[in-house]
Amino acid sequence: MEKNVGSLDRGVRIIVGLALLSLVFLRQDSSRWFGLIGVLPLLTASLSWCPLYTVLGVKTCSVEKK
């Protein structure tokens, strides 16, 4: 897996993931389980790899010099 998620993108994914995940604890109705979607951005941020970016050919990380 080649990295395709940059540092700014990772930061945004972490914030969004944590915000969504907090719904599990803050909501009391059945919509609370919607917050489990927050696991996906946290996972892609931790791996610095997004499968959707791979399909679309998008890279937000800087180009590594050899």
State pLDDT tens for residues 10-54: 999 999 999 999 999 999 998 899 999 999 999 999 999 999 999
Dist. CA 5–CA 48, nearest whole Å: 5
Give the integer Cα–Cα distance in Å for 56 and 33: 29
Record the pTM: 0.86
Instruction: Report pLDDT for 60.
Output: 92
Q: With beta carbons less than 8 A apart as the criterion, state whether 40 and 20 touch.
A: no
